[in-house]
Chain A
Amino acid sequence: MISAIVATFLTASVEWVEAYTILLAVALSIGWRRAAFAGVCALGALAVLTVAGTLGLAHVGNLLVLQFVVGFFLVLFGVRWLGKAIARRAGLKKLHDEAEEFAALRARADIFDKRAAWVIAFNGVLLEGLEVWLIVVALGVQTHHTAAAAGAALAAAAMVLAAGFWARGPLAKVPENTIKFTVGCGVLALGTFWVLEALGYAWPAGEFSILLLFGFNVAGGLAVARAFQTTLAA
């Protein structure tokens, strides 16, 4: 359960930082009240999706099928985040820059139109929140702690808002790639464990195997990134 909450909190932190950049850019055009309302509406939509997703998965009668489905989604998510983090660490892909993102949003012509800006804020928070939704539902259903996972996501939102209020600007100093790398390794470890367990594989070290898988992903991911760096430098 702890690993699920930590993974949710870290995933949500990264996504909410990106959502905050969008909200900030919009708020400077149409005011904080309208931008915050768009954000709250998007969070409401995510809450509805969370309830629907949880209820939908709860109706899967076969627990092994449920475990396989959840594990497969987590593997999809983990491989993507780990792949992106390796590419950024190796220099194959540019690091995500919140200040640059903020400047690009402020340069958009439609950001000064009240309705268009509201939609930008709503869509931004909704799209950034979709990955949080996936993690909350998948980890919550599998560990039977959906409320705790949702609480971790909301706690991350509160933390990002507080940091944004304190910084009074885009949160450009968040070590986003390191968090993505760590979360990717962790989520991939959980997904790998559940997928194989659902297929009838008996892990020799039981649940301790999750920690071993996490260690393997971290060491392997770092080694791959270093190998790519060496290739690029040559």
Chain B
Amino acid sequence: MALIAVLLIVQIWLLSAALESFLAGNLQAAMPAAVFSGVLFLICLGLYLFVNRVDAEVRLSRGPTRTVNGADNSVIKQQP
């Protein structure tokens, strides 16, 4: 999550720099900024999917758990 937050900060900076450059009449910076922003988004998405998958695997291996308010949070296992 921290890595995604760091990448997001870079993306915010990139957007503000691209906008500033566009308003200054410099149109050449828009393409590399968009490509780099797209790459950063794909990395964020990949990290999120990776963490979700690892999380699901860990929950599956641990078995049934309980949430804060006591609800059953167990993963439904398929019967053989």
Our verdict on whether A and B bind, yes or no, reads: no
Interface residue ranges, B against A (CB under 8 Å):
none
